[in-house]
Amino acid sequence: MATVTTPDEAPEEIVSGGNDKWLDAYHDPVASLYTMTQCIALSDIQADGDWKLVIADLGTGSYNMKLKVYKAIAVASGPYIYVYKNLKPYFKFTLPTLEVNPIEMDLWGQVRENKINIFVLREMLEGMRSEGVPLTVRSLRYLQLTDVADFEAFVNLYKNAPLRRQTVITCLSTLKKSMADEDAISCLVLGTESKSVYVLDPEAFTVLTTGKKLWTVKLPANITTIETMEYNQKGFKAVIVALDNCQVHIYKEKYLVNVIKTQDVVTGLKFGRFGREDGTLIMTTRGGGLLIKIMKRNAVFQEKDISAGPPAAQNQKLNVPKKTKLFVDQTMRERENAVTMHRTFQRDLYLLRLNTAREYVKALENSMNPISSDPTEPLKLSAQVQGIGPTFKLTVNLQNTSLSQPSTDLLITFQFDDKLYLFRKTFIQVPMLVPGLSYAFDTFIECLSDKGVSDNVKVFVLKEGKSVPIITGVISMPVSESVVVV
């Protein structure tokens, strides 16, 4: 695979403002079209040889969405493909469901069995989302809720329903199946939000496979959209790339052959037959404008590499050591047992994640956490031990993380080995905690042993009238230094 870098400034001979290789057929900068490449098509709706421009206008994104036809259609919506024949519904195809994360499925199962509450479920799902774990639509909608009163209603409504994960189609195109003729059978190519590409058989509507990456081209600006360009009259095939610097680049394989400069950033592209013209380029801009350019019949695109190219060292043969018998035997073993090894690894990985999640939930239920999971008492606990012994100073810091609700009727107490430590204060009355402020509470600890041993001390933050601590902190005490008599 080769990597090519495109320079920031292209040579003058390939830069076009629309007069060199293209004719300006139509330009409406205030067409109020808000669309993208996936929502633009050129189609012979009436089979009369007069190809129409079809644009799905997104409007505001929530309403005023329209389908506009300029002088028509398979339609993708969510995980579905609607195929129309003679402008009438013909077939509906649904993408296969994706695998649900086992931890997410286990969490919803525990909620259904009342093993965890809705707040623990929300915190666990929020953690999974922050780690980049793909979640189902149900979990994402639950995390979007902001009113605590809606949490329980949502969970009770959906917890008994099967958990499914469905992807969404983001782009749609066609690929010739066996012949490159204009009227040859084409396969439908779908790009999904889950980073997958599906190629559908046009007769059985089954999923086929696709190809591999050949090279990489580094561009001078970010890509806004991309479109293929096939001009059969000249046997010319290329890729059209729109950039956010108001330029449109045309690449023949890895070579930059033409640059079109525009007044606004292009967000939608479509090349094909429009009306009676075969080489028509349709462009929509970020400001809602519509541009139509027609390729000149005498236009010539020179395949000239304007980049510096790969370094000479890339063509040097590497001194690869010979394969040993141990390497060959190991390779054969992995090849013969690849499926079993992969399944074992995946199972162990899922079990590790599941056990970790269960232990975390158990810690939350037992309040073994320095941050409160109770939304009615949002507290944060930290502790610090000072001194070298045998007397230590323990400082407990409490902070109310609520935005407006103060915390009252709180107590601090400790659990320790009374044969090893002596606390001067084992019970601390906490005053009202104002939101946002940090409060410090001190006590002194006397180590009763001179044998160089230490133990853990637990700090409990209690609420009057409740038997379960709000927060629990575990402090690892340092080893006490011996008393030196002078």
Residue 54 has pLDDT above 70, yes or no: yes
Mean pLDDT of the chain: 80
Q: Identify whether residues 290 and 412 lie together within a single domain.
A: no
Q: Identify whether residues 28 and 92 lie together within a single domain.
A: yes
Rounded CA gap, 405 and 433, in Å? 9
Burial class (CB in 10 A: 0-12, 13-18, 19+), 158: middle
Q: Identify whether residues 135 and 263 lie together within a single domain.
A: no
CA distances from 163 to 135, 136, 159, 252, 349 (A): 10, 8, 8, 46, 21
Final residue before a domain boundary, out of 312, 346, 369: 312
Q: Identify whether residues 154 and 12 lie together within a single domain.
A: no
Between strands 391-400 and 438-447, the pairing is antiparallel
Please state the domain count of the chain: 3
Final residue before a domain boundary, out of 312, 338, 355: 312
**DSSP letter for each residue of 413-462:** EEE--TTTEEES-SEEEE-PBPTT-EEEEEEEEEE---SS---EEEEEEE
In a domain, 220, yes or no: yes
pLDDT for 300 equals 80
In a domain, 406, yes or no: yes
Binned at pLDDT 50, 70 and 90, residue 349 comes out as: very high
Full-model pTM = 0.44
Q: CB–CB of 380/399 below 8 Å? A: yes
pLDDT for 18 equals 45
Stronger pLDDT, 216 or 420, i.e. the higher one: 420
- Give the domain extent around 201: 2-96+168-312
Binned at pLDDT 50, 70 and 90, residue 72 comes out as: very low
Residue 2 has pLDDT above 70, yes or no: no
pLDDT for 212 equals 62
Stronger pLDDT, 304 or 433, i.e. the higher one: 433
Least confident of 67-81, 100-114, 116-130, 406-420: 67-81
Average pLDDT of span 289-299: 86
Average pLDDT of span 420-438: 87
In a domain, 450, yes or no: yes
The torsion defined by the Cα of 154, 155, 161 and 163, in degrees rounded to 10, comes to 100
pLDDT for 96 equals 82
Q: Identify whether residues 207 and 308 lie together within a single domain.
A: yes
Q: What does the pLDDT look like over 164-187, one tens digit per residue?
A: 888 888 777 777 777 767 667 788
In a domain, 366, yes or no: no
Final residue before a domain boundary, out of 312, 334, 366: 312
Q: In what helix (H) or strand (E) does residue 237 lie, and over which residues does it extend?
A: strand 236-243
pLDDT for 71 equals 45
**The token pair that represents 153 in the structure block:** 């209603």
Domain harbouring 27, CATH code: 2.130.10
